[in-house]
Amino acid sequence: MKKILVALMLSGVCSCHASTPTGKVAVKVVDEDGTRIGGAHVKVYFESELNKDTVRQGVSNTNDLFTASAPAINPYATVVVTKNGYYKSAWGYMFTGRNALLNRYTPWGDVRTLTLRKVAEPVAGKIVSTKQKPLWKTVPRFDAPVGFDLLKSDWVSPYGKGVKADFILAAKKQEDGKVSEYTIRFKKEGDGIQKYQIPKEITSAFKWPYKAPLTGYDSELKKVIGYRGVTVREEERIRNPEEIGYIFRIRTVYDKDGEIVSAFYGKIWGEILVHPKGMFQLGGWLNTDSHSRSLESMHPTSP
């Protein structure tokens, strides 16, 4: 009888450890001031089977945390928070360990804060290209500068349908094809571009300043695409597209007192790339209201 009981106990232990471990997360929803937000729709996704999720969902409140748990074949959970009047916020969480005795991932019920950013002044604007499908153009020539029209999303005549050169691209390609170097110059007074370091802690789908800055624009941007054995200066290095973006201003008009009366502002996600094989890549959005500095786009594929 004792042997039977021991066998059953061992069988239970093996069954427990062979089952899918459970993960648990706790979610706090706040606004940009850190104030708790109630009434937000929270969804937590756990991969219960290959390519199949178990979804736990509910509504946030200002007093308690939203908690969710479910078995998961991978130590990962995705949290998505939505609320009318706010941009969607999402967060992917990797569990760092596993408690074999309790058959669950750790940390257990770790609290994560997701910030919702308000929708303020979105405008239609113009998609230069989407993040999922960036603009690709063949560089017309490498032996001379070429103008690019951002409103037309094309090279200026005779190489494209562009009318006005918002910037000039001067690209160099070595004969061995190992390095492609380019310089973008904005020649009109007041026009220019500035780097925007995307904060890693922002969980919101909208990761940009609400309005483009009035100052800080450079008239030139230089980049070098380096390969093995090529030394590239830090400021000219190509960055991870999830970490870097650019804000630009074009067609700036001043009044007699030197104040800006109109200009077009826009944003570029990731780097502007010139590939050695002759392709130019750009992903961005342009506010077509020359009297607005808003960087909020109504287009669903624009960050």
Task: State residue 14's pLDDT score.
Answer: 40
Per-residue pLDDT band at 31 (split at 50, 70, 90): very high
pLDDT tens by residue, 257-284: 999 999 999 999 888 888 777 788 888 8
Is 190 in the same domain as 228? Answer: yes
Domain membership of residue 223 (yes or no) is yes
Is 177 in the same domain as 213? Answer: yes
Is 102 in the same domain as 201? Answer: no
Is 190 in the same domain as 210? Answer: yes
- Torsion sign, CA atoms 234, 238, 240, 242: positive
Is 131 in the same domain as 280? Answer: yes
Is 133 in the same domain as 175? Answer: yes
Domain membership of residue 225 (yes or no) is yes
The angle formed by the CA atoms of residues 203, 209 and 214, to the nearest 5 degrees, is 165
Among the candidates 64, 95, 115, a domain finishes at 115
Domain membership of residue 293 (yes or no) is no
Is 86 in the same domain as 221? Answer: no
If one compares 134 and 215, the residue with the highest pLDDT of the two is 215
Domain membership of residue 302 (yes or no) is no
Is 58 in the same domain as 197? Answer: no
* CA distance to 111, 169, 196, per residue, from 245 (Å): 30, 18, 5
Ranked by mean pLDDT, the top range of 179-188, 243-252, 272-281 is 243-252
In 3-state terms, what secondary structure has residue 103? coil
Among 195, 250, 251, smallest CA distance to 222 is for 195
Domain membership of residue 292 (yes or no) is no
Task: State residue 92's pLDDT score.
Answer: 93
Task: State residue 11's pLDDT score.
Answer: 41
Give Cβ neighbours of residue 131 (< 8 Å, ≥ 6 apart).
269, 270, 283, 301, 302, 303
Count of domains for the chain: 2
Is 140 in the same domain as 39? Answer: no
pLDDT tens by residue, 66-94: 999 999 999 999 999 999 999 999 999 99
Contact 47, 55 (CB under 8 A): no
Contact 165, 149 (CB under 8 A): yes
Task: Please give the structure tokens belonging to residue 134.
Answer: 């960036």
Per-chain mean pLDDT for the chain: 86
Q: Which range of residues forms the domain containing residue 77?
A: 20-115
Is 226 in the same domain as 147? Answer: yes
Is 210 in the same domain as 271? Answer: yes
The CATH number of whichever domain residue 70 belongs to comes to: 2.60.40.1120
Task: Please give the structure tokens belonging to residue 144.
Answer: 């001379």
Among the candidates 95, 115, 135, a domain finishes at 115
Domain membership of residue 7 (yes or no) is no
Domain membership of residue 10 (yes or no) is no
pTM of the complete model = 0.83
